[in-house]
Amino acid sequence: PSPKSFQPNGTSEEALRCEIEELKQKDLALDQEIAQLLSEGYSLEELDKHISLLHEYNEIKDAGQMLLGKLAVIRGVTTKQLYPEYDLELSD
Asked whether residue 6 carries a pLDDT value surpassing 80, the answer given is no
pLDDT tens, position by position, 31-88: 999 899 889 998 888 888 999 999 999 999 999 999 999 999 999 999 999 999 989 8
Residues 49 and 80 in one domain: yes
Q: Check residue 1 and give its pLDDT.
A: 47
Given CA atoms 11, 13, 15, 19 in this order, what sign does their dihedral have?
positive
Total domains in the fold of the chain: 2
Asked whether residue 2 carries a pLDDT value surpassing 90, the answer given is no
Domain hosting residue 20, numbered range: 9-42
- Asked if residue 73 is part of any domain, the answer here is yes
Residue 88 class from Cβ within 10 Å (0-12 exposed, 13-18 middle, 19+ buried)? middle
pLDDT tens, position by position, 9-26: 556 888 999 999 999 999
- Asked if residue 65 is part of any domain, the answer here is yes
Residues 87 and 47 in one domain: yes
Look up residue 40 and give its amino acid.
Answer: E
Please name which of 61, 63, 60, 83 lies closest in space to residue 72, comparing C-alpha atoms. Answer: 83
- Asked if residue 31 is part of any domain, the answer here is yes
pTM over 0.85: no
